[in-house]
Amino acid sequence: MSATLLTDLSDQLAAAVAHAARSTVAVDARPRLPSTGVHWRDGVIVTTDATVKRPNDIHVLLPDGHRVRASLIGRDPATDLAALRPMARRSPSVR
């Protein structure tokens, strides 16, 4: 692979990461370490079902650094998905 192709690929990957970072949140819903989630659309954050160990004590760290409470609005253990609703503040969603 030529240096130009590698540079182009690197630039494209960097742009994709920068775009995704605007919608990536930290979900604190289990003991010890937070997990990640995606602000899917206004008022909905999607994470893994396995992340949610404390369904009544969930916090989300938004990309802008603000920490907000969130509530569990749905989960599907079969697909390992959970949906959360942040209690305040808007954050960019995936587009």
Domain 3-86 sits in CATH at 2.40.10.10
The model's confidence at residue 3, banded by pLDDT at 50, 70 and 90, is confident
Q: What count of other Cβ atoms lies within 10 Å of the Cβ of residue 46?
A: 17
For residue 27, the number of C-alpha atoms closer than 13 Å in the C-beta half-sphere is 30
pTM of the model: 0.77
Full DSSP string of 39-85: EEETTEEEE-GGG-S-TTSEEEE-TTS-EEEEEEEEEETTTTEEEEE
Model confidence pLDDT, tens digit, residues 52-70: 998 889 999 998 889 999 9
Residue whose pair of structure tokens reads 């994709």 in the numeric block: 16
What does the pLDDT read at residue 93? 55
For residue 29, the number of C-alpha atoms closer than 13 Å in the C-beta half-sphere is 31
